[in-house]
Amino acid sequence: MSDEILENAVNGKAWADFCDNLKEAGQIILDNSTDDLDRLEGFRYLSRLTRGELGRLENQGPAYTQILPIPHNVKIGCDNPDALYQSVTISGALDYRIRGPRGTVNYLSLNAFSGGFAVGSAPPDRQGALAFNDPQPGEQVDVIASVNEPDHLEPGQRWLRLAPETNQIAIRNFYLDRTAERPSELQIECLNGPDELPPPLSAQRLTNGLARAALGVHGIARRFVDWLDMFQERPNTLEFLPKREGPGGWGDPTQLFRHGYWTLAPSQALVIDVPPIDAYYWNFQLNNIWEESLDYDWLQVTVNKHTAVYEPDGTARIIVADDDPGFANWIDTAYRRHGTMGLRYNQVVEDIPPSLRVMDVADLPNLR
């Protein structure tokens, strides 16, 4: 470590540089919002991203890593209201064991990634993935994560493939019913790290962590504004992302994921028919323009395979409108005239696209 790094860390320059770089991210919000609510939520979005990125400073390094939840209300890239997201910072140079109760949550997955969304990072790329369906009473997860496949696995143990460049494992717990299901309770152990306790915070780690946090906020905000630009070209439709943006990124490989931009006048509704489909899980949700899910704790802004009410032919008819029109699967626009949206199919046997149409609210009774 150079004398300059130490001096800049202790005299406050590293912190001042972080603050200056973070301030510049505000221009992304100003340049891409069209109303006051967009801007208010946009600046809150930056504060949430900052909280999430600064949390990485708590990581003692890949040899001392822990499984940590994504901080509360840090919402990125059409986050799933039915999900508990967790992340683990690792190194492909080390081997790990992940184990613990699988829980009763409908679906659990572990995905190993390299790259990231920060400015200057390599694009996200998945190296290995594991999925756990159909929870059994008392089921335990036991996974070895390593570049080289183990010569021997214990009964019930599974291997998660890493690559030398792997830097993160993402864990997803997907609920059908949050009130009735319990998430997994996993712990991670580095199998070949140093024996000594983690070292004290260094000037290098502080400086790098602050710089990465600012780059992360910029990169994430920019990435999903670029998505918004794509979706606005065909409003009120749901389509797959271009291949370069799709499942090879942070996405789950078992999902088919359609995205879109919605915009409605006060007198209009968006009618979405999700066809009868053989999928282990599906959900539809509304987001703001920053790709943050809307406030699902208080508002009806999402529906899934379990919560949906179905037509006699098995279709789930979803109505997006300002006010409840008297249909079972009403989705609240939550005081907005526009935003983004997403439809996930998880482990689908055959893809069947949804149908979408904009109608006058006054004509909705004719759908019955």
Claim to verify: residue 156 and residue 142 sit in the same structural domain? yes
Claim to verify: residue 151 and residue 204 sit in the same structural domain? no
| Residue whose C-alpha is closest to residue 68's, from 84, 82, 83, 79 | 84
- For 255, phi then psi, to 5°, come to -105, 145
pTM of the model: 0.93
Claim to verify: residue 190 and residue 71 sit in the same structural domain? yes
Claim to verify: residue 159 and residue 259 sit in the same structural domain? no
- Rounded distance between C-alpha atoms, residue 308 and residue 298, angstroms: 18
Residue 153: give its domain's CATH number: 2.60.120
Q: Does residue 11 sit within a domain?
A: yes
Claim to verify: residue 175 and residue 76 sit in the same structural domain? yes
Claim to verify: residue 73 and residue 39 sit in the same structural domain? no
pLDDT truncated to tens, each residue of the chain (368 aa)? 688 999 999 999 999 999 999 999 999 999 999 999 999 999 999 999 999 999 988 888 899 999 988 889 999 999 999 999 999 999 999 999 999 999 999 999 999 999 888 887 877 788 899 999 999 999 999 999 999 999 999 999 999 999 999 999 999 999 999 999 999 999 999 999 998 999 999 999 999 999 999 999 999 999 999 999 999 999 999 999 886 555 445 677 889 999 999 999 999 999 999 999 999 999 999 999 999 999 999 999 999 999 999 999 999 999 999 999 999 999 999 999 999 999 999 999 999 999 999 999 999 999 87
Number of structural domains in the chain: 3
Which domain does 359 fall in, by range? 233-367
Helix (H, G, I), strand (E, B) or coil at 204: helix
Claim to verify: residue 85 and residue 21 sit in the same structural domain? no
Claim to verify: residue 83 and residue 34 sit in the same structural domain? no
Claim to verify: residue 252 and residue 333 sit in the same structural domain? yes
Q: Does residue 227 sit within a domain?
A: no
Claim to verify: residue 7 and residue 18 sit in the same structural domain? yes
Claim to verify: residue 91 and residue 165 sit in the same structural domain? yes
Q: Does residue 75 sit within a domain?
A: yes
